[in-house]
Amino acid sequence: MDHSTRQPLIEGITAAIVGVTDFGPHLELFVDRLGYEVAAAGTIPAAVADALWGSGPADLEVIALAAAGSGTGRIHLVRVPEPIAPAEPPHNLDTGLVGIDMYARDINAAHAALGKAGHPWTVAPTTYGVAVGEREVEVTQGICPAPDGTVVVFVQPAAVRGTEAWSADPERSYTELTSVVCHVPDPDAEVAFWGPEGLGMDVWYDVVFSSPGFDKVAGLPDGTRMRLAFLAGAKTARIEVTSADTEHRVDRRAAQRPARSLGHCGWSVRTRDLSAALESVRRTGGQVLTGRVETDDPWHGRAAAAGVTTPNGISVTLWQPLS
């Protein structure tokens, strides 16, 4: 079978899963300041949550946040009563999940407004170049820490790539999540897992570059050579897979588990065919952790779901809507 010519099994990352101690500070940032809305709220039954994520005997309190009603690029908040590790923002050289990214229409205005509202940035807006083939792509971004160790990266794009939120409301200051980032020891395996011969995302570019501006933004040693593979589906969020020629720092993967960890701890991914997606996971070196679990909850609606990990141990919940 020619896997590269089949219909993609996924359209992008539906949501970043974020573990929280208290919903309030996250709602103040994402809803009050960034203009997201509560798309759904309630509980995931204990039987479903424990089967998918090993979260124990209690129902999980959850909220789904969307930008301008976007069905993808969402933020799934889950309250974690007993996290397996303290909240700590990951470094760009830590192994595992790193930042969640969104576009800002005016990044300097965002920097000023969020700082005034009590959300100081760890990295002010910075412009740098990334060599993509024979051309250099200019990027302007800055970093603002969210509660519970979540790293939010704001990007003012030189060229806007499709965003549902800006299509629905062109005057918005911020979009849905445009990409999510993982830093991994085996980028080839991660790209194969998500790419055209795996779950079906396209590799928009896969480059190795060094940039003083990026070193500053990412907190890297001067002269670090970073590999960045950018994978995209029909909808946001996209995936940035990174690896570097310097030693990886803390391995955070064991402490990044949905419903058990604080901060950016997993990805939720809608698929058109759960059985085929699980076959792809096995074929491309990932692990299927659970069997098919049926649910009807605020994150997934009525759906069949399964927990998996990628070849680099990134936690993913795959789910298929049920009619």
Could you identify the residue written with the tokens 């929280």?
20
| 143, containing H or E segment | strand 135-145
Q: Can you tell me the distance from the alpha carbon of 8 to that of 3, in angstroms, rounded to the nearest whole number? A: 9
Nearest of 146, 188, 161 to residue 36 by alpha carbon? 146
- Record the tokens describing residue 289, joined without a space: 């952790």
pLDDT for position 5: 53
Give the position of tokens 């099994």.
9
Spans of the chain below 70 pLDDT: 1-5
- Polymer length of the chain: 323
* Domains of the chain and CATH, by start: 96-244 (3.10.180.10)
Closest to 244 measured CA to CA, from 175, 166, 181: 181
Contact between residue 100 and residue 75 where contact means Cβ atoms under 8 Å apart? yes
What pLDDT is stored for residue 1 in this prediction?
Answer: 43
Residue 216 corresponds to which tokens in the numbers above?
């500053």
Q: What's this model's pTM, rounded to 2 decimal places? A: 0.96
Residues paired with residue 241 on neighbouring β-strands, in sequence order: 182, 229
Question: pLDDT value at position 3?
Answer: 46
The H or E element that residue 112 is part of is: helix 107-116
According to DSSP, the β-strands at 202-209 and 226-232 are antiparallel
Per-residue model confidence (pLDDT) at position 52: 98
Q: Cα 253 vs. chain centroid, distance in angstroms?
A: 14
Q: What is the pLDDT of residue 4?
A: 47
d(CA 246, CA 244): 5
Which of the 8 DSSP states describes residue 310?
Answer: -
